[in-house]
Amino acid sequence: MTRRFSGVWPAVPALILLFFVFLFPVVRMLGFSVEAGTLDWYAKALGEGLYLRVFWNTFEIALLVTAICLLLGYPLGFLIATTTPAWATLGFIFVLLPLWTSVLVRTYAWMVLLGRNGVLNRGLIEAGLISDPLPLLHNFNGVLIGMVHVLLPYMVLPVYGAVRRLDPALVAAAEGLGASDWRIFWRIYLPLTLPGIFAGAVIVFVLSLGFYITPALLGGGKVMMVAVMIEQEVRQTLNWPFAAALSAVLLAVTLGVYSVAQSFTRQEAQR
């Protein structure tokens, strides 16, 4: 008995907190969606065009954000992993500083930068590059820029880890045999860091699905994502059962994507 549970006791206080302040309230809230004994609220969430479009929108934004983060995050993680230690430290600082700066501060800063009279539009007009301000804020572009900024570090760190784990002898061997930089990248770095890329992409995608602050502030009410819709159902419409059904769908998609991805990574590790 004691042996079978050796070392479990220190976990108990934290588990009590997680049960009462995490599992129980979430499950209780999700239960509201089937309180009436029917699945009507789910039918509404998944059947009506308006709501379906919000889910689709969220999915689309999450995919796009993931793709852009991949495009920007890979070179950055790669550079930090392959440079000298001193430069790597500096490189890390400028990834971690934005990561730990409040999302609100960054969102506010983007509003200052991207607005019609914002820093970027002013600069571009004064430089004579454009005549009318670009629509960068309170729309899809604004949400995209803001979200990529928040999530980029989550892509950089796993890529960095993957490149660091790679055996440098492989690269040295390829160089010795006369392979070009590009060839080394395509034939060695890219295939061998694929698990790291995948891990980063999954984290970014999953976190994107539940985003609230950035779409709420930078979308200007025009970009609807699931989390914003849930908040409105709870606080404005006071429609708890429907908010619960939306939450259940969001949670199912999030956990679904996450566990499928996890099982892939495990298979990869076993090979």
Q: x/- binding map, residues 136-175, to another protein, per CB under 8 A?
A: -------------x--x----xx-xx--------------
Interatomic CA distance for residues 90 and 199, integer angstroms:
24
Which residues in 47-76 contact another protein (CB under 8 A)? 72, 75-76
- What are the structure tokens assigned to 22, written together? 């995490």
Closer residue to another protein (CB): 102 or 131: 102
Closer residue to another protein (CB): 5 or 128: 5
Helix (H) or strand (E) holding 137: none
For residue 39, the SS3 value is coil
Q: Does 264 bind another protein (CB under 8 A)?
A: no
Is the distance from CB of 159 to CB of 200 less than 8 angstroms?
Answer: yes
Burial pattern 63-92, b for ≥16 Cβ within 10 A else e, equals ebbbebbbeebbebbbbbbbeeeeebeebb
- What are the structure tokens assigned to 123, written together? 């600069």
C-alpha distances (whole Å) from 256 to each of 35, 104, 177, 202 are: 24, 29, 44, 11
Minimum Å gap between C-beta 217 and another protein is 6
Interatomic CA distance for residues 80 and 71, integer angstroms:
15
- What are the structure tokens assigned to 64, written together? 């796009």
Which residues in 185-224 contact another protein (CB under 8 A)? 199, 206, 209-210, 212-213, 217
Which residues in 223-262 contact another protein (CB under 8 A)? 227, 230-231, 234-235, 240, 243-244, 247, 250-251, 254-255, 258
The residue from 34, 64, 70, 109 that contacts another protein (CB under 8 A) is 109
Q: Does 78 bind another protein (CB under 8 A)?
A: yes
Minimum Å gap between C-beta 39 and another protein is 19
Minimum Å gap between C-beta 46 and another protein is 17
Which residues in 13-32 contact another protein (CB under 8 A)? 13-15, 17-18, 21-30, 32
